[in-house]
Amino acid sequence: MSERFLLVKQSQPLQGFVEVTGAKNAVLVIIASLLLAEGKSTLYNVPNSADVRCFIALMMELGALVHFDIKQKILTIDTSTVNKIEVSPEIMNMMRASILVMGPLLARFGKARVALPGGCLIGARPINYHLQGFRRLNILLEENQPYLFASTNTSTSAPQHERIALEYPSVGATENLLMYATLKPGETVIVNAAIEPEVLDLIDILKKMGASISCEPGQVIRIVGVNHLKPVEHTIIPDRLEAGGLLLAACVTKGSVHLPNARADHMDIFLEKLREMGHEVYTGTNPTPTHPLQGVSLTACQNPRGINIKTGPYPGFPTDLQAPIMTAMALSKDVSTVEETVFENRLMHVKELTKLGAQITVEGQKATIRGVEKFYGTELIATDIRASCGLVLAGLVASGETKIGNIHHWERGYDKLEEKLRFMGAQISLINPDDEPTRQIEESLLSKRVA
Ligand code: UD1
């Protein structure tokens, strides 16, 4: 197989009107949640990224019937045929999010057998909060490498009231426990729950299915178990991380962009930081006579200022936009700082950015960035999904050509974002696209249509 890479050339100021695709991080967990509602459900605005195809393959492995209309972004999944409770290590190793089937499988079948998950190398990424929570909900766990077998404790079937305080508002742990609790007799309260927009989208679809869930002040989610959930239709929220990448593409190339369906209310701190840099940001919530449209639009400042950010759980600055915004900081005047508090190994892109001429030093989890006027094109390696976005943004401004390898990360997280950038005027191409290994998964999908 020949090497696949992204070739990015120094580009003119990007301009455009671009629709944002459905959020990858919402759709993965929402696909898992369909296991809770036996029957045929339909999802709209589904991105065709490699992680989504991988999750679809997982559902097929469990026995679901799937049809993915890639052009229309419509995914139909019939979970009435699901007859397995085991996820193979091959699938689990491809994607950490596979652990999210544990809650729904336990809720529906009372048992689940999963291998320990893989994913990006951005930290140790344990699943102890998921497991502690499941134990509190009376789940028995047996580890037999590489598998973890989980089952409901049948000796105590009376409805129970459980209050679980998460040590950290983990997105995945909140989602997994929440899904399990929807069909568990009794009441479950999750304290210090994650409240990312993707978690709220999950809650939205679960409520449509008939779940009883309320979100209370102080990041508390209360779930009262019901007997049955029904299949539904649901439109996935727009991807705030893709939107962030597109806005930053306009920033670094000193262009302008309008994202008609982006949700400004999902990106408050990020948009504030762009304004602090000096960029003009307009949102549907503060329309002006010259910018009356819905969504988010941005006109870049020609000489942006440095800023300081500290990543954190929502509504804090999203760790997934840390690498992309660092590229913009590295091209601003003055000094900027980044403190990464969510993942302990998420500054790997710094080494790549310095190859282009960026001036960045790292001490522990903190990066200090001295803005430079120019980047110089060279060969780079993408180290995780969001780092790949930061490097693409850098390539758009670097003189000459930038070649980015390890692009399976890019394809895991984005649905042909390079085409959207090209539409805005970027010189970017995917070299050897037909060798994409996950395309095979896509083809096999189309042959298994839902009746
Ligand atoms: C999700 C997102 C990911 C995003 C992250 C934080 C998906 C598919 N992925 O990942 O893009 O970067 O939220 O917004 O939605 N942790 C533990 N023990 C656990 C669980 C987590 O120590 O049991 C730690 C992790 O190692 C990490 C931190 O908690 O340092 C946050 O992880 P978590 O919020 O669970 O992220 P994910 O759900 O994996």
Average pLDDT (131-160) is 87
- Whole-number pLDDT of residue 442: 52
- Whole-number pLDDT of residue 435: 58
**In 376-438, alpha helices (H):** 385-397, 408-413, 417-423
Confidence band, pLDDT 50/70/90 cuts, at residue 103: very high
Fold match flag (5-21+238-435 vs 24-237): yes
Q: Tens digit of pLDDT for each residue in 283-327?
A: 976 555 555 457 999 999 999 999 999 999 999 999 999 999 999
Q: For all residues of the chain together, what is the average pLDDT?
A: 91
Q: Which atom of ligand 1 is nearest to the CA of 343?
A: 30
- Whole-number pLDDT of residue 438: 52
- Whole-number pLDDT of residue 88: 86
Retrieve residue 31's tokens: 């696909």
Q: In terms of C-beta density within 10 A (0-12 exposed, 13-18 middle, 19 or more buried), how is residue 447 classed?
A: exposed
- Does the pLDDT of residue 443 top 70, yes or no? no
Which residue numbers are catalytic?
120
All structural domains of the chain with their residue ranges: 5-21+238-435, 24-237
Phi then psi dihedrals of residue 248, to 5 deg: -70, -30
CA of 168 to the centre of ligand 1 (A): 10
Element (H, E) at 61: helix 50-61
Q: Is the CB of 177 under 6 A from ligand 1?
A: no
Residue to substitute in 95, 114, 125 for testing ligand 1 pocket (most ligand atoms within 8 angstroms of CB) = 125
Please, are residues 75 and 98 in contact by the beta-carbon 8 Å criterion? no
Q: Is the CB of 25 under 6 A from ligand 1?
A: yes
Confidence band, pLDDT 50/70/90 cuts, at residue 3: confident
- Does the pLDDT of residue 436 top 90, yes or no? no
- Whole-number pLDDT of residue 124: 56
- Does the pLDDT of residue 345 top 90, yes or no? no
Q: Is the CB of 167 under 6 A from ligand 1?
A: no
Residue to substitute in 30, 31, 49, 168 for testing ligand 1 pocket (most ligand atoms within 8 angstroms of CB) = 168
pTM value is 0.94
> What is the number of other CB atoms lying within 10 angstroms of the CB of residue 92?
23
Q: Tens digit of pLDDT for each residue in 238-274?
A: 999 999 999 999 999 999 999 999 999 999 999 999 9
Q: Is the CB of 340 under 6 A from ligand 1?
A: no
CA of 394 to the centre of ligand 1 (A): 26
Higher confidence at residue 91 or residue 138? 138
d(CA 352, CA 383): 9
- Whole-number pLDDT of residue 1: 44
- Does the pLDDT of residue 24 top 80, yes or no? yes
- Does the pLDDT of residue 341 top 90, yes or no? yes
Retrieve residue 430's tokens: 């995917």
Element (H, E) at 148: strand 147-152
- Does the pLDDT of residue 199 top 90, yes or no? yes
Q: Which atom of ligand 1 is nearest to the CA of 125?
A: 26
**In 285-407, alpha helices (H):** 322-330, 349-355, 385-397
Residues 6+ apart with CB under 8 A from 170: 129, 130, 194
- Whole-number pLDDT of residue 449: 42
Please, are residues 65 and 450 in contact by the beta-carbon 8 Å criterion? yes
Cα 215 to Cα 34, 159, 203, 219, 241: the distances in Å are 21, 21, 9, 7, 24
Residue that has been written with the tokens 């960035």 in this structure: 369
- Whole-number pLDDT of residue 67: 96
Confidence band, pLDDT 50/70/90 cuts, at residue 357: very high
Q: Which atom of ligand 1 is nearest to the CA of 124?
A: 26
Retrieve residue 22's tokens: 């459905």
Per CATH, the number for 5-21+238-435 is: 3.65.10.10
- Whole-number pLDDT of residue 233: 98
> What is the number of other CB atoms lying within 10 angstroms of the CB of residue 203?
23
388: left (phi > 0), else alpha (psi -120 to 50), else beta? alpha
Min mean pLDDT across 146-155, 386-395, 421-430 is at 146-155
CA of 274 to the centre of ligand 1 (A): 25
Average pLDDT (391-410) is 96
Confidence band, pLDDT 50/70/90 cuts, at residue 230: very high
Average pLDDT (329-356) is 95
Q: Which atom of ligand 1 is nearest to the CA of 169?
A: 34
- Whole-number pLDDT of residue 222: 98
> What is the number of other CB atoms lying within 10 angstroms of the CB of residue 153?
12
Please, are residues 173 and 166 in contact by the beta-carbon 8 Å criterion? yes
Beta-bridge mates of residue 338: 309, 367
Nearest CA to ligand 1 atom 25: 125
Min mean pLDDT across 56-60, 70-74, 150-154, 215-219 is at 150-154
> pLDDT > 90: what percent of the chain?
83
> What is the number of other CB atoms lying within 10 angstroms of the CB of residue 2?
8
Higher confidence at residue 441 or residue 98? 98
Q: Tens digit of pLDDT for each residue in 148-189?
A: 999 998 776 677 899 999 999 999 999 999 999 999 999 999
Residue to substitute in 134, 242, 342 for testing ligand 1 pocket (most ligand atoms within 8 angstroms of CB) = 342
Give the fold, CATH level 3, of 24-237.
Answer: UDP-n-acetylglucosamine1-carboxyvinyl-transferase; Chain (3.65.10)
- Whole-number pLDDT of residue 119: 46
Please, are residues 6 and 414 in contact by the beta-carbon 8 Å criterion? no
